[in-house]
Every structure is written in C-alpha cells, then in structure tokens.
Amino acid sequence: MELKRVVVTGLGAITPLGKTFPETWKNLKAGVSGCAPITRFDASKFKTQFACEVKNYDVADYFDRKEGRKMDPFTQFALIAAKEAVADSKLNLETVDKDRIGVIWGSGIGGIKTFQDEVTDFVKGDGTPRFNPFFIPKMIADIASGLISIEFGFRGPNFTTVAACASSTNALIDAFNYIRLGKANVFVAGGSEASIYEAGMGGFNAMHALSTRNDSPETASRPFDKDRDGFIMGEGGVSLILEEYEHAIARGATIYAEIVGGGMSADAHHLTAPHPEGLGATNVMKNALADAGMKPTEIDYINVHGTSTPLGDISESQAILAVFGSHAYNLNISSTKSMTGHLLGAAGALEAMATLMAVKENIVPPTINHFTDDEAFDPKLNFTFNKAQHREVRAALSNTFGFGGHNASVIFKKFVG
C-alpha cells in the first residue's frame, strides 16, 4: 500500500526554558541554561541539590483548585502542552472528525509525586489505610493521554508509551505510523514528566547517574566535555500535532516540517549502561534512515541523546561515526540537554521539537557548557559547542535512549508541498 505523508502542524511546551513553545525555542537558540538550585523541596541533604525545574510554576495559573488537585504534576504538564499545541494547530474543533484524532503520550515514570505523597502519609499514620480516591488515577502513566482525549473529545487511538527516556519518541513514531497507514488523520503526541521530588532525585542519586556539581548548577550539564559527571534532572511537557498531509493541506494548516522516518532498537546489553560500542544506537539510526528511505549524506543535523554521562556520550559518538562515516564530519551535532536537563520520558518530544525547528529555521541550537576537550571524541566532529550555528538544515535526526536499552530515533525533513 502507498503510505501517507505526515506533517507537524502544531507545537506546545512547558519546560525549564519557558512556559510556551516560542519561549522555549527562543532560549534554546540563545544557549540559556535552565538549571538552578531546587526550589520544590529542601534538597540540602541530597548529593544533588539542583535541577532544571519549570520556573515559578503555579498550578493555579492553569487549573482551578478542585481540578488541579485531581492531577499529578506530570499530567498537568501534559494538558498544558497539549492545549497550546492544539491551539497552535488551529484545528476547527467544531467541524473536525474527532473519531479520526488520537492521543499517544509518553512518560517514563508517571505520577511519582502522587505515589511518594500517598505512601509517605500512610507510613506516618497509624496504619489505617486512608488513601486518596484519586491516588491510582493520578499515578498511572496513561492518565495523561486519557485526560487529553477527554479535554478535546478526541475518540481515536489512545494510549501511553513507556520506554524510559525513549518514551515520547516512541509515542511520535507510533502516531506517525498510525497516520501513514491511514488509521487516523491527526494525533496529539508527545510526553511529560515531573520527577524533581525526593523519590526521583534520591533514586537517581543512588544510581550515581546525576551530576553533583552543586557549586555551579548552571554549568553542570556538560555533554562531550572532559569533566562531565552525570545528567541533570529536568521536567515539563511537550506536544506535537502530527497530521496527514492531505488533511492538513485541505484545511490550510501551517506546516512546520515533515516527519519521514522512525527507528527503534534494543541494546540487549545492560540494565542502565549503554552498549560500549554503541551497537543499539548504531542500529536505531540505521533503522530510521531505512524507514525514511534516506542516505546518511542527506542528514545535516543530529540532536543527540547526549546526557552528559561519561559512558553514554562516548558510545553515541562512536555510533554516529559508524553510521555516517566521513559524512559525520559534515554534520552539526548538539545536545540540547545541556540547557534543558534530561526530561526523561518527555525528552524525546522536547528534542524532536528542537530538531524540527532547526530544520524549519536553518539554525542549530548549541551544546553549552563546553570547557575542556575530551580526547575520547574525534576532534573533527562538530558538537556545536557554546553557540548556535546557522546553516542549511535539509533534514535532521533526533536520538533518545532509555534505561533497559530502549532506543528510538526520528527524522524530520524540510517541508516541500
């Protein structure tokens, strides 16, 4: 069968760099760090006392008191991002076929604050099980996609993808596939996460996964720098409206870019560590290129997973060389996690947004906080250190890799009617 084309017609975001998509993108291009000391709780006894929080977030700015109390913060972020994206798409909700609009959302953890609070209250009590009746609906990861569909009345396919830090990239790939197979006209796709709480920070600290550069939070995320010492926790939500090309054209939609391929793979190697030779990362990029029917030389920019961990950055750079060969030296490569921190299950959606906007505007956001070269990396690779670079970006690829060896990549091309 002939596969349908899929385009992006709406964007929404609430992130450590801004409470809207335009603000987030503006700060990504400017190389702004979203990292600062934690304000959400007293982190003075934690090994890591900083994170990339959504700044000055107040649930009352978005939801009434009764409604807000029924949702974990990760769901609040999901609804905020989805509402902006739907508004940005200019879908006519009065006339559109809502049976043909679905929601696929990614979250690696779901309602960790809700789980932490309910269990803490129970343990501190007298043993009587007094749990909030919204405990389970607030905690489960799929509630975000459910509430987005309820908000707009979208009755198409609806589910949540869980693949650790690759979760929202998987959501985008699933939405892309449903549309090109003709099973839906439009999807609200993306991801959200809200793990900057005691349980989240303590758990990742126990794994020695987080940077402990408490004396300089704004420079702590240092992908590809010799002194990198772990990732920075981020939070927020990002939504993309994926739409069948003919459907978008018929209603005169503004098109940001075309999504042309998606790949998935598994490391099959270790609980948390990447494959030392980047085998899974190599395979996933090859799979995405094959799915798009593209040659490596057609890619101009890669938004890498680039978490600022000692092993992960090395294995990903090795994979890029394995896939792209000498063309790797013509690429711009950057890790926007240097600015946003790691949004876990929402990282893929945020980085997909940055990737497609690089294609649309011909500007590559930087990898900030580079101070010292690491001889582990090929010096001829262009990591777009410290400052955005203007160049023609015909097509770009975004990588996300998750604990458990889950890998997912998507490719965006400049839209040509």
**Mind telling me the catalytic residues?**
165, 305, 342
Q: What angle do CA 34, 37, 40 make, to 5 degrees?
A: 95
Q: What sign for the dihedral angle of Cα 355, 302, 367, 269?
A: positive
Residues facing residue 265 across a β-bridge:
407
Q: What angle do CA 380, 382, 388 make, to 5 degrees?
A: 155
The helix or strand, by DSSP H or E, that contains position 315, with its residue range, turns out to be helix 310-324
H runs (alpha helix) in 106-166: 112-124, 135-139, 143-152
Burial of 253 (0-12, 13-18, 19+ CB in 10 A): buried
Token pair listed for 312? 């992960």
For residues 377 and 224, the answer to whether their CB atoms sit within 8 Å is yes
Token pair listed for 51? 């994170």
State the residue for tokens 């939504």. 239
Work out the number of other CB atoms within 10 angstroms of the CB of residue 66: 7
Q: What sign for the dihedral angle of Cα 110, 179, 10, 51?
A: positive
What are the E-state strand segments in 308-405?
Answer: 332-334, 363-364, 389-390, 395-402
Instruction: Of 111, 100, 118, give the one whose Cα is nearest residue 155.
Output: 100
Token pair listed for 132? 């909030």
Work out the number of other CB atoms within 10 angstroms of the CB of residue 110: 25
Convert 121-188 into a string of H (helix), E (strand) and C (coil).
Answer: HHHHCCCCCCCCCCHHHHHCCCHHHHHHHHHHCCCCCEEEECECECHHHHHHHHHHHHHHCCCCCEEE
Rounded Cα gap, residues 294 and 133, in angstroms = 51
Rounded Cα gap, residues 192 and 239, in angstroms = 9
Residues facing residue 36 across a β-bridge:
51
Rounded Cα gap, residues 267 and 269, in angstroms = 5
Work out the number of other CB atoms within 10 angstroms of the CB of residue 126: 6
